Amino acid sequence: MRTVFWDYNSNQLNMIDQRLLPSTFEIAVFDDYHNVAKAITDMVVRGAPAIGAAAAFGLALAAIKSKATSFEELRRELNTAADLLLQSRPTAINLHWAIHRVLSHIPGSCNDVDELRQFILNEAQAIADEDIEINKRMAKNGAQLIQDGDTIIHHCNTGALATVDWGTALGVIRMAHDQGKHIHVLVDETRPRLQGARLTAWELSQYKIPYDIITDNAAGYFLHSGQVQKVLFGADRVASNGDVANKIGTYMLALAAFDNNVPAFSVVPTSTIDLSLNTGNLIPIEERPQAEVLDITIAERKVSPEGATAKNPAFDITPNRLITGIITENGIVYPPYDENLQKVVITTTKP
Residue 236 annotated as catalytic: yes
Q: 94 near 271, Cβ under 8 Å?
A: yes
Task: Report d(CA 35, CA 15) in Å as an integer.
Answer: 12
Sign of CA dihedral 1, 92, 280, 97: positive
What's at 221, amino acid-wise?
Y
Given the residues 188, 236, 243, 316, select the one marked as catalytic: 236
Q: What is the dihedral of CA 140, 138, 40, 310, to 10 degrees?
A: 90
Task: Report d(CA 263, CA 39) in Å as an integer.
Answer: 35
Q: Which residues are part of the catalytic machinery?
A: 236
